Amino acid sequence: MFTDAVGVLTSWDDGVLLVARRTGETVRIAESSLVAGKVVPAAPARRRGPAATFPELARVTARAWEPVESEPLGGWTLRASDGFTRRANSVLPLGDPGLPVAGALAYVRQWYADRKLPAYVQTATGAEGTQELLCAELDRLGWRREVSAEVRTGALAPVGDLDADVSAVRLSRSFDEAWLRRYQRFGEPGPAVRAVLASGPRGWFASVAGADGVPAAIGRCVVDGRWAGFMAVEVAPDLRRRGLATSVMTALARRALDEGASAAWLQVESDNDGARALYDGMGFAPHHHYHHYRWAEA
């Protein structure tokens, strides 16, 4: 009776091996129980979706959620937006911070405390060049992983070619108050909410008219060079499973194709089975996982 633990060996001390899996989970293995180990070769080129390195995709996804305030710390970027979305209120570590990790994290904690915000670090696992070692260090130093999600990629044309009714989808370069009423990811939308949603190289907002002035469905797409990123796709609970999300994404994909994009990305939380099934059908495949670690104060 044997079992495997596939991942990055982050440490081997005091008779215990720590292996960071691509999901971000750290596995502890007693040296006395170890039977065999081997180096796993690099993953072959992906057969589905566009080729993309982790650094390229990390920067593209970050530009779709530009923060209100940011500060560099070596190769890290500290981001704050009055608490609206973890993506715009966390550290993006894409290089060496220029000082030991423990010291960099102490600076991070103080920077967010000065802004009366919780300290978050966004990390990634599961692709070449990602941050399994940093995940292990955050675990060791007492940071707690709160949220994990998949970053998925796919070719854009198949989404635009879907047989979906887009006649009721209205596209605009900006969002209005009705659009915000469907996007229920905040309380009262303050300046930071509006600034982050309006950020990104070239944004498009989709809506399908609904009852009482609230859209039946909405979506957002940011076109950035060859990439089109899909986010904020939401449908009224009583209107789900009627193809509205597909219609919204198809309309946005066609507009992004008109603007020269050819590849697509999106982010979906790992426990959102309904959305993952939808994106499977559209040809999106997992590229890597990202995680938000929060400082757990004593």
For the segment 267-285, the average pLDDT, to the nearest whole number, is: 91
DSSP string, 1-35: ------SEEEEEETTEEEEE-TTS-EEEEEGGG--
In total, the chain counts a number of residues equal to 298
Q: Is 220 exposed, middle or buried (CB count within 10 Å of its CB: 0-12, 13-18, 19+)?
A: buried
- pLDDT value of position 47: 36
For the segment 48-63, the average pLDDT, to the nearest whole number, is: 87
* Percent of residues, the chain, with pLDDT higher than 70: 92
Instruction: Report which of residues 43 and 254 the model is more confident about.
Output: 254
24 pLDDT more than 60 = no
Q: Is 13 exposed, middle or buried (CB count within 10 Å of its CB: 0-12, 13-18, 19+)?
A: exposed
Q: Token pair of 190, please? A: 């303050």
Name the residue ranges covered by the structural domains of the chain: 54-150+290-295, 157-261
For the segment 60-75, the average pLDDT, to the nearest whole number, is: 97
For the segment 22-26, the average pLDDT, to the nearest whole number, is: 56
168 pLDDT more than 50 = yes
- pLDDT value of position 245: 96
Instruction: Report which of residues 184 and 46 the model is more confident about.
Output: 184
Are 54-150+290-295 and 157-261 in the same CATH fold? yes
- pLDDT value of position 39: 79
Tokens 């973890």 locate to 86
Which 8-state DSSP code applies to residue 39? Answer: P
Alpha-carbon distance of 244 to 231, in angstroms, equals 14
44 pLDDT more than 50 = no
Model confidence at 20, in pLDDT bands (50, 70, 90)?
Answer: low
- pLDDT value of position 25: 61
For the segment 77-104, the average pLDDT, to the nearest whole number, is: 96
- pLDDT value of position 267: 96
Instruction: Report which of residues 50 and 96 the model is more confident about.
Output: 96
pLDDT, averaged across the chain: 90
Relative to beta strand 91-93, strand 217-224 is unpaired
Report the topology of domain 157-261.
Aminopeptidase (3.40.630)
- pLDDT value of position 48: 42
104-113, 124-133, 179-188, 276-285: range with lowest mean pLDDT: 179-188
Report the topology of domain 54-150+290-295.
Aminopeptidase (3.40.630)
97 pLDDT more than 90 = yes
Phi, then psi, of 296 in degrees rounded to 5: -95, 100
Instruction: Report which of residues 32 and 277 the model is more confident about.
Output: 277
Instruction: Report which of residues 186 and 111 the model is more confident about.
Output: 111
DSSP string, 210-266: -GGG--SEEEEEEEETTEEEEEEEEE-GGGTTSSHHHHHHHHHHHHHHHTT--EEEE
- pLDDT value of position 190: 86
Q: Token pair of 60, please? A: 């593209």
Alpha-carbon distance of 153 to 207, in angstroms, equals 23
- pLDDT value of position 41: 60
Alpha-carbon distance of 298 to 278, in angstroms, equals 41
49 pLDDT more than 60 = no
- pLDDT value of position 15: 85
Long-range CB contacts for residues 135-141, cutoff 8 Å, separation at least 24: 135/20, 135/24, 135/26, 135/291, 135/293, 136/10, 136/11, 136/18, 136/20, 136/26, 137/101, 138/105, 138/293, 139/26, 141/101, 141/102, 141/105
With DSSP H G I counted as helix, E B as strand and the rest as coil, what are the percentages for the chain, rounded to 5?
30, 30, 40
For the segment 119-131, the average pLDDT, to the nearest whole number, is: 92
What is the tens place of the pLDDT at every residue in 171-207? 999 999 999 999 977 767 789 999 999 999 999 999 9
For the segment 48-61, the average pLDDT, to the nearest whole number, is: 86
- Among left, alpha and beta (phi > 0; psi -120 to 50; other), residue 244 is alpha
Model confidence at 152, in pLDDT bands (50, 70, 90)?
Answer: very high
- pLDDT value of position 189: 76
For the segment 148-169, the average pLDDT, to the nearest whole number, is: 96
